[in-house]
Amino acid sequence: MLQHIEFSRPLRRVLGLTLLLATGMAGAQDPYPNRPITLISPFSAGGDADLAARTYAAAATKALGQSVVVMNKTGASGVIGSAQVVAAKPDGYTLLLARTGSQAIMPAIMPTSTKYKWNDYTFIGMLELNPYGCVVSNNSPYKTFSDLTDAMKKQGKNLNFGTAGVLTTNDMGPRQLFRMLKLTDQIPTQLPYKGTGEAVTSLLAGQTQFSCGSLGTFLAHIKSGSLRALMVTTAERLNELPQVPTARELGFAEMEQVVGWSAVFAPAQLPANVKDRLVAAMTTIAEDPQWRTMTAQTGSLPYIRSPEQTREFVQKQYELYRSLGESLNIIDASN
């Protein structure tokens, strides 16, 4: 028969503290990751963000040894999904596919409605750069970029263009172009969609006359002949589109500052061991030939960088769009 043993109060305290320490040490030693990771893509399926998210997820699953599952959380030009990551538990199981619009443009132009700052995250690393350009349907009467800009001047708001939402690169690139063309209130009409994929669909259907954005989503349609690229903002012509002139060649060198990009962010206050594991995975992904091939197939350029380099890059992008917003007088008036 077991006897009941009565411990003294001081001994009970020591035993309880020992149990807590042992439990804490066991928890601290749990390997990361030990369950699936959710990657929030703040734009709709089929667009540039979604392509980058799924390409990264496939490579990260191999590098981390756990499934990385993409969740499209759309709305408000990427703000809804981005805000969800800001508010998430900083344990490494919720990550963000960061994009130019949601992480640089929105905080720069609409700081009140965005509610998060460009640096309210743990920076894991840059992923890629997305060459930017303007495209039309192959049935369009605009055969050259000059044809399109002439139409902008003559037709003004009667011309429309599709975007992945206001204050995305699909929106800000044309704004920069309209400013350079000295258009005022008679600017083409923007038709915002939930993502670049939907904007491409509207262009193919003839619902919009042109679209400007990262060329990844357009590329397959350009190669098939259903869309025609008129201009790219890269410093040199793209190898895959050698017939398409650069903005600088066409006299619009200032358009070179508009470029798409993807990065991986996590909530702030991420534990150092978790951050180190994710950063190490980025190094592995950078050498993954399948990831590099898949990234190139989407029309993007591999651009993996360290957390420090990523922070510096994003800050410069934020400052660029803050300056552009001020020159266009479109900064949120309440700030």
Average pLDDT of the chain is 90
Q: Considering only residues 47 and 79, tell me which one the structure prediction assigns the higher pLDDT.
A: 79
Residue 156 predicted with pLDDT over 90: yes
Global confidence as pTM: 0.79
The structural domains of the chain, ordered by start, are 37-130+259-328 (3.40.190.150), 132-257 (3.40.190.10)
188: three-class secondary structure by DSSP: coil
d(CA 295, CA 285): 11
Q: Considering only residues 84 and 22, tell me which one the structure prediction assigns the higher pLDDT.
A: 84
- Assign 8 a pLDDT band (cuts: 50, 70, 90): low
First to last CA, the chain: 75
- Assign 3 a pLDDT band (cuts: 50, 70, 90): very low
94-99 and 37-41 as β-strands: parallel, antiparallel, unpaired? parallel
Label residue 264 exposed, middle or buried (CB < 10 Å: 0-12, 13-18, 19+): buried
Residue 278 predicted with pLDDT over 90: yes
- Assign 319 a pLDDT band (cuts: 50, 70, 90): very high
Question: Residue 47 has what pLDDT?
Answer: 81
pLDDT tens-digit map of 118-146 = 999 999 999 999 999 999 999 999 999 99
Residue 219 predicted with pLDDT over 80: yes
DSSP conformational letter for 41: E
- Assign 334 a pLDDT band (cuts: 50, 70, 90): low
The stretch 228-240 carries a mean pLDDT of 93
Q: Considering only residues 327 and 228, tell me which one the structure prediction assigns the higher pLDDT.
A: 228
d(CA 305, CA 158): 43
